[in-house]
Structure 1
Amino acid sequence: MKNKKTLVLGASSNTARYSNMAIKKLLQFGHSVVAIGLKEVEVEGVKVQTKQVPFTNINTVTLYLNPARQKEYYNYIIDLAPKRVIFNPGTENPAFYELLKLNNIQVEVACTLVMLSTSQF
């Protein structure tokens, strides 16, 4: 299995949150994880950043932000130049899909947790 460095955007230390479950499951599957959220916390050893850190070699960005909250991250995500962006349930954003496609970034409207469990990640 290939390690796909993943940015979890909208990360939370709340164990009931899907972003929290995604961090744990990504690590469990051997992927390196970086995260951005509202609070500086730590999830399974992953430090959650609160600023738009210029991470490198990001393969996948998985979104846990509603479309209105995504706007401030459009340029940031495009500048990271990931191979793909996963829009988890509740984050669907057709306007952003178009921007990403124009920048040759693959768009997946899916659930990261399901993708991992079914070997589609």
Structure 2
Amino acid sequence: MNRKTLVLGASLNPSRYSHIAMNRLKQAGHEVVAIGLKQGLVQGVNINTDLMTFKDIDTVTLYLNPKNQVPYYDYILSLKPKRVIFNPGTENPEFYNILKMNNIDFEVACTLVLLSTNQY
């Protein structure tokens, strides 16, 4: 199943997990869109610096620490994703509660592990 995924906190640095995740998501056949601090291209995916109005987002995978997530709460809610993945280091109980109140599922998991174990 193709799950259109927003990588939030995307990086051009090949050693960053968000960068690796974009590559692996594409390799697994998922449509990927990305937002990061610097514009660029990773595996054919444009990293945007503006909050784009993406349609049909299934999953938002977070690569931002909890403090840096706060300005994105409303934006993520506006996308109406089916789920949000909190990768290691992004755990955020405050945001879990907001997502619950908005009937959005979330997982505290690693996107790379989910992909490698066919659980994505």
| TM-score scaled by length of structure 1 | 0.98
**1:98 is matched with which residue?**
97
> What is the CA deviation profile of residues 33-89 of structure 1, one whole-angstrom value per residue up to 9, with x for unaligned ones?
000000011101100000110100000000000001000000000010000000000
Deviation at 1:104, TM superposition (A): 0.7
For structure 1, the 5+ residue unaligned runs are none
Give the corresponding residue for 2:119.
120
Q: Does 1:64 align with 2:69?
A: no
| Residue aligning to 2:11 | 12
SS at match of 2:85: strand
Matches within 5 A, 1:14-93: 14-93=13-92
Q: Secondary structure at the match of 1:71?
A: helix
**How far off is 1:105 after superposition?**
0.5
Amino acid at match of 2:81: P
Partner SS for 1:54: coil
- For the residues of structure 1 that align with 2:92 and 2:50, how far apart are their CA atoms? 22
Q: Percent identity?
A: 63
1:3 counterpart residue number? 2
How large is the RMSD of aligned CA atoms in angstroms? 0.4
In the aligned structure 2, how far is the partner of 1:119 from the partner of 1:102?
Answer: 29
SS of residue matched to 1:58: coil
Look up the equivalent residue of 2:52 and give its one-letter code.
Answer: V
Secondary structure, in 3 states, of the residue corresponding to 1:107?
strand
How far residue 30 of structure 1 moved from its aligned partner, in angstroms, is 0.2
Per-residue CA deviations over 1:3-53 (Å, capped at 9, x if unaligned) read 000000000010000000000000000000000000011101100000110
C-alpha distance after superposition, 1:74-120 (max 9, x if no partner): 00000100000000000000000000011110010000000000011
What count of residue pairs does the alignment treat as equivalent?
120
Q: Which runs of at least 4 in structure 1 moved beyond 4 Å after TM superposition? A: none
